[in-house]
Amino acid sequence: MKVIAMVLAFLLNCTFANKEVAKKNKKSKLYAPQIECDIKAARIMNPEFIAKCPPGCQDAKYRVYGTDIYASFSSVCGAAIHSGIIDKSGGKILVQKVSGQSGYKGSYSNGIRSLSLPRWRESFIVSEGKPKKGVQYPSILDYSSVKSPSVKGGTSLRREYLTTASPLPDTQIVTSIPKPTIMTREFVSTTLKPTALPTTVPTTVTTKVMMVATSKHQHAMHKVRDIGSSHVHPAYSSVEAVASRQIQAVQGRIQNQAFRSTSSYASNRNIPRMNAGIQRQEPIASFRKPASSTVNLATETDLWKPGSSLFDTGFSSKEDLVPKPLEPVSQGNPNCKVDLSFLIDGSWSIGKRRFQIQKQFLKNVAQALDIGVAGPLMGIIQYGDEPSTEFNLKTYSNSKDLKNAIEKILQKGGLSNVGRALSFVNKNFFDDSNGNRGGAPNVAIVMVDGWPTDKVEEASRLARESGINIFFVTIEGPDENEKQNVIEPNFVDKAVCRTNGYYSINVPSWFSLHKIVQPLVKRVCDSDRLMCSKTCINSADIGFVIDGSSSVGTGNFRTILQFVANISKEFEISDTDTRIGAVQYTYEQRLEFSFDKYSTKQDVLNAIKRINYWSGGTSTGAAINYAFEQLFSKSKPNKRKIMILITDGRSYDDVRGPATAAHHNGIIAYSIGIAWAAQDELEAIATDPDREHSFFVDEFDSLYRFVPRIIQNICTEFNSQPRN
């Protein structure tokens, strides 16, 4: 009885231990992928995810825009610290993407100063990193860029799996020429079983053939096995020779018959052919000159490689033996690199005939644009009651395929809800996942038959402020009697960013639509005129005028350069976006680099670091004249010219005359004074109103405080520009 009691106790303990282990397994923690401090929410494509932030993300270089709800180009971990979800030691956070906001208010919280922003297309909120019930969170985050950051330990966050068809482990492939002795072959079915070689030679030599036709390509190849040994007993040598000659004769007849049947092969597609132990149905129009000997037939198995199809080798037509030159595929017009969305009218009012005319117009535009990865890319959205994407930017990369796809578009019907379509484009179409390239301007061309059945002004404004350049093509507008039915009078002027006729084309008749193909393409491809795709951070030529006088000193000069770099970081820098230039002055002036010198943000930041301290006097007025002549005179006409002058003392010459001349030439001037700078000179240099463009600090180390205010003022001023 004691033994039984002990056994029962042991079993109960084991059961209890197993339950505890099971409970622990059930409560196993969710793996949260780690992200770096500089990762912005816009780079992560997952709409909701849990991630782990490292320590140290409170640094001011990790920019945050907004309060509670943050713009998507904010640092995710910086926003988490700002909102109080984690502290500077890091931790797990839950991130949810939400729609763009009409404005983001900056604030100071938990040691982080967030910046203000007028508008942005996407936002996110941060909460405690606890999973919601019933929600599965990704263990690997999906990044929009090609090269993703890696998790500690070297594991990539983005994994790509290469799938290669290959033989199963027990598959054997004949890759060597058989010896002259007779070999017993079996043609086996797709059920692969290991077969042991016989240990003794049979009394009768048999050639056993099971012909099995393969009806489908399989990832695992049929097994080909050679049964027998080169060490055959001498008594059987004569019998083997006879059998060998008989097999060769049969193979020769089959091969000759196949070779002679070239002209009539199409009607005899299923002639079986022995091919190194594999029997299959030949594909249509797949004929190859037969091997001249059984040795060649045996070595044909060398053509089978892991990952190849059973139909990749074998017969081929005579025409295939002569290589045909491939038609060159255009990479697109490099002088017209835009991401283009056509919003086509699919409402019932347009009718079937005019819908066909509209499709022909789209095909003509696609041909004229020269679609390609190095040039313009084009997607199409059809709208009626609701908008829907016919295909996005990355679906087709040449004009020929795009035109074929346009021809297959079917009319949706419904009303003409243009405003709803523009909202759809703003929120969904120009995403990285849909092929948006970032460096190319976003353009939306809206086709309207008559007039919209909803309001477009607000939707257009939000789309423009998200960086989308809107063109309207209106056909057969309302006559005098129909204007009373228009919901929003003058809807075109309210929708486009300039009312000078450049962004809108009115066509009196559908049958005249073909005449505007070239004018429209020319406007779309003129990137210097695409001001509507510009925002406050990608539309300026910014010239820094830096005091390098003796009173500054080497250490303080490096602090000024850091201030210049911190401002530059906030802008999108490229040939077509914001450009940066710099001038250093003392008694004399020196152009450190011009606007067209560097076209990437990193190159600009590196150039700022390389500026050497000059030392000398302080001739600020001469420096302003020099900056205008050597820097801003070469600014592009469509760029906002912004001068940011930094000085630590009173000028030896007059600043009012040069500053007034700069203002009259369209330069927006900001003045930043340190220590002994003269307040009256700072106000004279700055564009009115002074309080928005002139700043003063007592110490060089306090310069960083003005970065958010300067960026905010630049953006506020941009969004208040007149629209005509």
* Residue 647 identity: T
pLDDT digits (tens, 9 = 90+) for 184-241: 343 333 334 444 444 343 433 333 333 333 333 333 333 333 333 334 444 434 444 4
With 70 as the cut, is the pLDDT of residue 493 above it?
Answer: yes
List all residues 6 or more positions away from 698 whose beta carbon is below 8 Å from its beta carbon.
674, 675
Per-residue confidence (pLDDT) for residue 672, from 0 to 100: 97
Tell me which H or E stretch contains 322: none
Q: Rounded distance, CA 298 to CA 623, Å?
A: 85
Per-residue confidence (pLDDT) for residue 180, from 0 to 100: 43
With 70 as the cut, is the pLDDT of residue 668 above it?
Answer: yes
With 80 as the cut, is the pLDDT of residue 514 above it?
Answer: yes
Answer yes or no: are the C-beta atoms of 99 and 427 closer than 8 Å.
yes
* Residue 338 identity: V
Burial of 427 (0-12, 13-18, 19+ CB in 10 A): middle
Q: What is the largest CA-CA distance in the chain?
A: 119
- Rounded to 10 deg, the angle between the 517-525 and 351-369 helix axes is 50
Q: State the average pLDDT over residues 563-579.
A: 89
Q: Between β-strands 504-507 and 667-674, what pairing exists: parallel, antiparallel or unpaired?
A: unpaired
Q: Report the mean per-residue pLDDT for the chain.
A: 76
314 DSSP 8-state letter:
S
Per-residue confidence (pLDDT) for residue 231, from 0 to 100: 40
Per-residue confidence (pLDDT) for residue 294, from 0 to 100: 36
Q: Rounded distance, CA 13 to CA 17, Å?
A: 6
Q: State the average pLDDT over residues 320-348.
A: 77
- Cα distances (angstroms) measured from residue 214 to each of 172, 229, 261: 18, 29, 22
Per-residue confidence (pLDDT) for residue 297, from 0 to 100: 33
Query: pLDDT-derived band of residue 460, with 50, 70 and 90 as boundaries?
Result: confident
Query: pLDDT-derived band of residue 300, with 50, 70 and 90 as boundaries?
Result: very low
List all residues 6 or more positions away from 672 whose beta carbon is below 8 Å from its beta carbon.
563, 644, 645, 646, 647, 682, 695, 696, 697, 703, 706
With 90 as the cut, is the pLDDT of residue 181 above it?
Answer: no
Query: pLDDT-derived band of residue 115, with 50, 70 and 90 as boundaries?
Result: confident
Per-residue confidence (pLDDT) for residue 61, from 0 to 100: 83
Query: pLDDT-derived band of residue 530, with 50, 70 and 90 as boundaries?
Result: confident
Q: Rounded distance, CA 448 to CA 473, Å?
A: 6
Q: State the average pLDDT over residues 240-264.
A: 47
Query: pLDDT-derived band of residue 494, with 50, 70 and 90 as boundaries?
Result: confident
What single string gives the DSSP state of each residue in 170-226? Answer: T-----SPPPSS--EEEE--S-----PPPSS--SS-----------S--SSPPPEEE
Per-residue confidence (pLDDT) for residue 723, from 0 to 100: 45
Helix, strand, or coil here: 638? Answer: coil
Query: pLDDT-derived band of residue 438, with 50, 70 and 90 as boundaries?
Result: confident
Q: State the average pLDDT over residues 533-546.
A: 86
Asked whether the whole model's pTM tops 0.75, one would answer no
Query: pLDDT-derived band of residue 592, with 50, 70 and 90 as boundaries?
Result: very high
Per-residue confidence (pLDDT) for residue 226, from 0 to 100: 34
Within 10 angstroms of residue 613's Cβ, the number of other Cβ atoms is: 18
Per-residue confidence (pLDDT) for residue 586, from 0 to 100: 96
Find, among 653, 542, 556, 566, the residue nearest to 613 by Cα: 556
Find, among 529, 481, 483, the residue nearest to 502 by Cα: 529
> What is the side-by-side order of every strand in the sheet holding 694-697?
589-593, 579-585, 540-547, 640-647, 667-674, 694-697
Among the residue ranges 172-176, 439-443, 519-523, 703-707, the one predicted with the least confidence is 172-176
Q: State the average pLDDT over residues 491-506.
A: 85
> Which span out of 26-30, 73-77, 212-216 was modeled with the highest average pLDDT?
73-77
- Given phi > 0 = left and psi -120 to 50 = alpha, else beta, which region is 91? left
Per-residue confidence (pLDDT) for residue 30, from 0 to 100: 65
Per-residue confidence (pLDDT) for residue 422, from 0 to 100: 94
Q: Rounded distance, CA 709 to CA 115, Å?
A: 8
With 60 as the cut, is the pLDDT of residue 560 above it?
Answer: yes
With 80 as the cut, is the pLDDT of residue 610 above it?
Answer: yes
Q: State the average pLDDT over residues 49-69.
A: 91
Q: State the average pLDDT over residues 485-490.
A: 83
Per-residue confidence (pLDDT) for residue 104, from 0 to 100: 85
Query: pLDDT-derived band of residue 673, with 50, 70 and 90 as boundaries?
Result: very high
In degrees rounded to 5, what are phi and psi of residue 565? -65, -40
The percent of residues in the chain predicted with pLDDT above 70, rounded, is 68
End-to-end CA distance of the chain: 101
Query: pLDDT-derived band of residue 111, with 50, 70 and 90 as boundaries?
Result: confident
Which spans in 497-575 are helix H? 517-525, 554-569
* Residue 267 identity: S
Among the residue ranges 275-284, 383-392, 573-582, the one predicted with the least confidence is 275-284
pLDDT digits (tens, 9 = 90+) for 444-459: 999 999 889 999 988 9
With 90 as the cut, is the pLDDT of residue 278 above it?
Answer: no
**Inter-residue long-range contacts of 102-109, CB under 8 Å, 24+ positions, other chains counted:** 102/462, 104/65, 104/66, 104/67, 104/69, 104/70, 104/71, 105/66, 105/67, 106/65, 106/66, 106/67, 106/708, 106/712, 107/67, 107/82, 109/67, 109/82, 109/83, 109/84
With 80 as the cut, is the pLDDT of residue 630 above it?
Answer: yes
Find, among 138, 132, 128, the residue nearest to 45 by Cα: 138
31 DSSP 8-state letter:
P
In degrees rounded to 5, what are phi and psi of residue 609? -60, -30
pLDDT digits (tens, 9 = 90+) for 88-104: 999 999 999 998 888 88
Q: State the average pLDDT over residues 508-512.
A: 91
Per-residue confidence (pLDDT) for residue 2, from 0 to 100: 60
The percent of residues in the chain predicted with pLDDT above 90, rounded, is 46
Per-residue confidence (pLDDT) for residue 358, from 0 to 100: 96
Q: State the average pLDDT over residues 38-43.
A: 91
Query: pLDDT-derived band of residue 252, with 50, 70 and 90 as boundaries?
Result: low
More confident residue, 623 or 194: 623
In degrees rounded to 5, what are phi and psi of residue 694? -125, 135
Query: pLDDT-derived band of residue 18, with 50, 70 and 90 as boundaries?
Result: low
Helix, strand, or coil here: 630? Answer: helix
Q: Rounded distance, CA 257 to CA 248, Å?
A: 14
Q: Between β-strands 48-53 and 91-99, what pairing exists: parallel, antiparallel or unpaired?
A: antiparallel
Query: pLDDT-derived band of residue 245, with 50, 70 and 90 as boundaries?
Result: low
Among the residue ranges 192-206, 584-598, 636-650, the one predicted with the least confidence is 192-206
Answer yes or no: are the C-beta atoms of 412 and 349 closer than 8 Å.
no
Within 10 angstroms of residue 35's Cβ, the number of other Cβ atoms is: 27
